Chain A
Amino acid sequence: MKNKWLMFLMGLGMAVVVGFLSHFMFYTTGEDQTLQMHTWLGLTVAAILTLFIYTFLYKDNPLYKFAEHLLVGTSAGYYLVVYYHNSVKPNMIDQIVAGFQQIGQMRAEGTFNFVDGILTNAGIWAIVPGIIGFLILFRLSRKLGWLARYSFGFYIGTAMGMYIPVGFQASIVEQIRGTIVHSAAAEPTPVFNLVYFGEFFSHPTWGGFVQAISGPLIIVGIFCTLIYFFFSKEHTGVFGAFGKVGIWFLMVGFGASFGATVMARISLLIGRMDFLINDWFKGLILPLFGGG
């Protein structure tokens, strides 16, 4: 039974690979928009793999495992190709080649000198980060793994140094400012605005009440949430009460996030069902039987 599964899956895998590589032979040169062979094959394979993954809803099984591992391998290969074409080649290899071409040209013209040919030749200097980056790969080696530390030191130090000033501004300074004034408005207004209270008391309406208390509610919420996260002091007495209020605000926040998460997951399911129904079934299968 096990061998039959293996034979089936190996055959399926080979069919997928052969099918895609064979698209060169089956492509026609039509200018019209009719479905090409590779698109037909592609949509069918996509639909089959989608259904393989949905079998997990019943229980874990070899079809799901096959699809999962195929995804991991395909993704890894895709990322490697993209990293090379988008980063390594244009930012390093092409720059180094251009640098050496510049040296060659200067030598051919007899104008080569150390300053123009090497010192101010930006292309040649791209070798340095290439070497630093290459050392990172030694992390995989037990004997030579220490070489990667120099590169990681440069990488992590730079990243941390770039983050600290802007992170402080974005996550702390601006957020504290936003707690004091509504800074998004064209004319910033205070968050705790007594004018709204005045308007409410002079013309009491439900909307006026909500507008008046919203500002203080924000300030209380932020203050109490920060108190909740302060674990250096025991949460008892008045301090504990503020922490409790902080938990309430956090629960409302997490509830909003949960509602939003449900929305997101359903959207993804709708996308897949839309593909299966409209792109595959109505677009491909039904026309074969004269429908759609």
Chain B
Amino acid sequence: MRREVPVLICAIMGVAMIIQFFIPHPVSQAIYKTVIKWFIIIVTFAMVLGLLSLTRMHLTKLRRGDKDWFFSLVTISSLFVNLLVGFFSFRITDSFIFEGLKVPFNFFTISFATGLAAGSPFMNLFDYIQVPMQATMFSLLAFFIASASFRTFRARTVEATLLLVAALIVMVGRVPVGHMISTSIPALSDWILVNPNMAAKRGIMIGVGLGGISMALKIILGIERSWLGGGGE
């Protein structure tokens, strides 16, 4: 029952949503709207699950005193500071308290009067800690891609040569300097993107689409049950 009923629910909902797509009757539409409303709430909890799982992992590291326990402490404490600031700021939207603290909210931020308003402590944490660090993490890849291009990108085979030539043309063609060197370069780059690149990506898209639909059908029909998870029957 603990495995069969969820699979049955999955099958019923899956088939219902597919059939609903083709039925414009008001009853079908009303059910569709209700399902959408419910789904928005349910999916939020699914996202929260991921974050709770992360928190549990770091708390476990702390409890066990693992090798990098200090960094787990940094993670947990920054999480709780952010939660505190996010909820605390939200509760003090009363303008009297704001005036008492001499916080100069102009008329823009009053209209966004939550803990998430521009200039609020929560947004400051976001703007000055999360934004720079997240942006910097991804910018590291620029160095590694340049280094990898030099050290490993070799035209050893026909396929590698095709990849290399296409990459070089697109790299030069997609910057204004390419246009300044010759108008043929961006034209060639555009032709590569619109023709052979588009053909390859379409082939991949059709393949992925077929794979996605077959996987979805397998889940709805109960053939694929990995989402049930293991453990306690």
Contacts and interface: CB of A to CB of B under 8 A. Distances in A.
Q: Do chains A and B touch in the complex (CB under 8 A)?
A: yes
Q: State the main secondary structure of chain B at its contact with A.
A: helix
A284 interface: no
Given A54-B140, A272-B135, A255 B42 contact: no
B45 A156 contact: no
Contacts of B76: 73
Contacts of A133: 41-46
A164 B213 contact: yes
B220 interface: yes
Contacts of A130: 41
A81 B83 contact: yes
A29 B100 CA distance: 12
Contacts of B145: 261-262, 265
B141 A151 contact: no
Contacts of B20: 161
A77 B135 contact: no
A184 to B, nearest CB: 11
B116 to A, nearest CB: 6
A24 B121 contact: yes
A205 interface: no
A291 to B, nearest CB: 23
A84 B56 CA distance: 19
Contacts, number: 431
A171 B212 contact: yes
B42 A76 contact: no
A249 B127 contact: no
Contacts of A118: none
Contacts of A82: 116
A153 B39 contact: no
A119 interface: no
B132 A81 contact: no
Contact of B71 (A38, A66, A228): A66
B79 interface: yes
A221 B136 contact: no
For chain A, give the interface size range. Answer: 35 or more
A17 B210 CA distance: 50
Interface stretch (A41-49, A99-107, A108-116): A41-49
B177 interface: no
A269 B77 contact: no
A81 B86 contact: yes
B104 A28 contact: yes
- DSSP class of A's interface residues: helix, strand, loop or mixed? helix
A75 B54 CA distance: 11
Interface residues on chain B, size class: 35 or more
A164 B18 contact: yes
A21 B13 CA distance: 48
B42 A154 contact: yes
A52 to B, nearest CB: 8
A259 B174 contact: yes
Contacts of A154: 9-10, 13, 42
B200 A140 contact: no
Contact of B142 (A45, A226, A257, A266): A266
B211 to A, nearest CB: 9
Given A73-B74, A145-B232, A259-B171, A253 B196 contact: yes
A91 interface: yes
A11 interface: no
Given A136-B45, A156-B227, A158-B39, A263 B171 contact: yes
A77 B48 CA distance: 11
A267 to B, nearest CB: 8
A21 B132 contact: no
- Leading 9 A-B pairs by shortest Cβ distance: A161-B17, A77-B82, A225-B203, A171-B209, A221-B199, A255-B166, A253-B200, A81-B86, A157-B13
16 contacts: A17-B77, A30-B104, A43-B128, A50-B133, A66-B71, A67-B133, A70-B78, A73-B75, A78-B122, A83-B48, A85-B116, A133-B41, A249-B199, A251-B163, A252-B162, A252-B196
Interface of A: 6, 9-10, 13, 16-17, 20-21, 23-24, 27-31, 38, 41-43, 45-47, 49-50, 53-54, 56-57, 65-85, 87-88, 91-92, 126, 128-130, 132-134, 136-137, 139-140, 142-146, 148-168, 170-172, 175-176, 178-179, 210, 214, 217-222, 224-226, 228-229, 246-263, 265-266, 268-269, 271-272, 275
Given A83-B48, A85-B115, A144-B232, 17 more contacts: A20-B125, A53-B136, A70-B129, A74-B78, A77-B79, A77-B86, A81-B116, A137-B45, A153-B7, A153-B10, A154-B9, A156-B219, A157-B11, A157-B14, A158-B39, A163-B213, A167-B216
